[in-house]
Structure 1
Amino acid sequence: MTSDVRAVVFDLDGTLFDHAGAAARAVDDFLGELGVDPSDALRDAWAEAEEWHFDRWRRGEVDFAEQRRARLVEVLPLAGLRPRHDPYELDALFGRYLVAYRAAWRPFAGSAALLQEIRDSGRAIAVLTNGTEEQQRDKLVTTGLGDLVDVVCTSEGIGVAKPDRRAFERVADDLGVPTEACLMVGDDPERDVAGARAAGMRAVLVDPARDGGAAVRSSVLSVLRGESGTVRR
C-alpha cells in the first residue's frame, strides 16, 4: 500500500456494523413478544420512523428519549397496539426492544479482517458516527471491533454531527493527522462522502449489505494502494 493516506475513518452503522439487519431482527422479536406477527410492512414502518425521529434528535428538535417514544407511538398502532402516552411506560417498552436489538448485534462479514489489514499497513483507524457515546462504543466492544480502532468520535460526544465539516476536522485532530491525509469510508453519500470531501478528505462510498465484504475491501484497498481517489459505489 503506497498512497499518502495515513488514517482511515469509518462510519459505523451500515458500514462496519449491520444496523439494519439487527434492527429488523429486533423488531420481529419485539413484536412477537407483544403477540404481533412480524411483517415487511411493520419492519419498513419501524425503519422509516427510526430514520425520521433520529434525525429530529440530531437537529435538536427532541431529546433522545423523546425520539424513541415517538417511534413507538407512531408504529405500534399499525400493529393494532395502542400504547399509553406515558413516558415511563414507553421507556420500559422501548427497553424491551433494546434487549432484542443488542442481542442481534453483528459486524458485517469482513469488517474485522479489513480493519486488521489496515492496521497492519501502519495506518491509524477511527470511527466517526452520528450516534450516542454509550451505545456506539458498546457496539464496537460487543462485536469485537473495538480493539482494532484507535479513535472513536460520536456526534453526542463531540457535539457535532456529519456532514458538518467540523465532525471530520475533529476526528482528524484526534488522530493527529491533517484531513487531507484521511480516507473516509461510509454508506451515506451525503453525511459520509460529501461531508468528508468538503472537509478535505478522500472518501469511498460502500454498501456492504448489498455488495458484501469483498467489494468493500476492494474499494478501500484500491485507494490505499494509490489506484484511485474517487468515490465508489
Structure 2
Amino acid sequence: MTLDVRAVVFDLDGTLFDHAGAAARAVDDLLGALGVAATDRLRAAWAEAEERHFERWRRGEVDFAEQRRARLVEVLPLAGLRPPQDPHELDLLFGRYLAAYRAAWRPFPGSAPLLRAVRDADRAVGVLTNGTEEQQRDKLAATGLSDLVDVVCTSERIGVAKPDRRAFERIADELGVPAAACLFVGDDPQRDVAGARAAGMRAVLVDPARDGDAAVRSSVLSACAGRRAPNGGDRP
C-alpha cells in the first residue's frame, strides 16, 4: 500500500548545498597561493580524487585526515608541485584549502524556499548525508538551513552510509514516520535514489546545478502532492 508523503528527506551536498562550486573555488584559491593557475583539468582531478578517497574513508580503509592528505599527494604533482612528505605539513596545506572551501559555502538559491514550502505543506524535513557530523551540521548552520530541518543524520553519527538501506530506515525512524511515507530527494542515482527505493521510500533525482531551482521545486512538490514529477523521478 502506498502511503501519503509525510516527510521529505534531502541529501545535502549537490542537492541543497553547492559543494562542487565551493570545492572548485577552493582549489582555485589553493593552487593560486602556490603559484599555479587552476585549470578545468586540475579541478576535475581534484573532484575525482575527493570522490575516491572519501569513499575509502567511508569504507573504513583510511581515517579522515588520511583521505585528505591522499588528495593532495595525488593532485599536486599534476600541477607540477611536489607534495610535502611530512603529514603535518600536508595537514597545514589542506587547512588552507579548507578555509577557502568554507568561505565559499553557499546553498543553492532555491534550497531555503523549497524547505519552507515543504514545511508549509505540513511535511517533516530531514537531511541524510554521507559525511562527518561536525562539518555537515556546520554547512547547514552557515548556509541558514538548520532551522528549516527537523532531523539530520550523518553517516558518521549513525554508523551507516547511503546507499545502505539502514541509513534510510534510520532517518525515517528518527522522523517518526514509516519509510514508505518518506520522499527522498538527491542528486546521485545510486546512493540517493536506488538506496532510498531499496528502503521502501519514494525518490526524486534532482540536479540543481544543471536544471535550476524551479525544476527541482516542481519535481519535489509534485511528488509531495502525489503527482508524477515532470521527469518521472518520483516513480517507485
Question: Would the TM-score normalized by the shorter structure come out above 0.5?
Answer: yes
1:10-37 Cα deviation digits (max 9, x unpaired): 0000000000000001100111111111
Q: Secondary structure at the match of 2:218?
A: helix
Q: Does 1:75 align with 2:75?
A: yes
Paired residue for 2:194? 194
Conservation of the 8 A alpha-carbon contact between 1:185 and 1:204: yes
CA distance in 2, matches of 1:157, 1:214: 32
**Normalised TM-score (structure 1):** 0.97
Paired residue for 2:44? 44
Matched letter for residue 124 of structure 2: A
CA distance in 2, matches of 1:207, 1:201: 19
Q: Secondary structure at the match of 1:108?
A: coil
Task: List aligned pairs for 1:1-233, cutoff 5 A.
Answer: 4-228=4-228, 230-231=232-233
Bigger mean CA offset, 212-221 vs 80-89: 80-89
TM-superposed CA distance for 1:231, in Å, is: 2.1
1:45-73 Cα deviation digits (max 9, x unpaired): 10010011011111111111000000000
Matched letter for residue 228 of structure 2: S
Alignment size in residue pairs: 231
TM-superposed CA distance for 1:228, in Å, is: 2.1
Q: Secondary structure at the match of 2:89?
A: helix
1:119-146 Cα deviation digits (max 9, x unpaired): 1111110000001100000000000001
CA-based RMSD of the aligned residues comes to: 1.3
CA distance in 2, matches of 1:70, 1:27: 15
Q: Secondary structure at the match of 2:163?
A: coil
**Aligned structure 1 segments of 4 or more residues deviating by more than 6 angstroms:** none
TM-superposed CA distance for 1:232, in Å, is: 5.7
CA distance in 1, matches of 2:218, 2:46: 33
1:97-131 Cα deviation digits (max 9, x unpaired): 00000000000111000000111111110000001
CA distance in 1, matches of 2:144, 2:84: 38
> Sequence identity, in percent?
81
Conservation of the 8 A alpha-carbon contact between 1:127 and 1:152: yes
Q: Secondary structure at the match of 1:196?
A: helix
Conservation of the 8 A alpha-carbon contact between 1:206 and 1:232: no
Matched letter for residue 217 of structure 1: R
CA distance in 1, matches of 2:83, 2:189: 36
**Normalised TM-score (structure 2):** 0.96
1:153-200 Cα deviation digits (max 9, x unpaired): 000010000000000000000000010000000000000000000000
Conservation of the 8 A alpha-carbon contact between 1:57 and 1:64: yes
Unmatched runs of 5 consecutive residues or more in structure 1: none
Unmatched runs of 5 consecutive residues or more in structure 2: none
CA distance in 1, matches of 2:128, 2:55: 16
Q: Secondary structure at the match of 1:125?
A: strand
Q: Secondary structure at the match of 2:78?
A: helix
Matched letter for residue 171 of structure 1: I
CA distance in 1, matches of 2:234, 2:221: 12
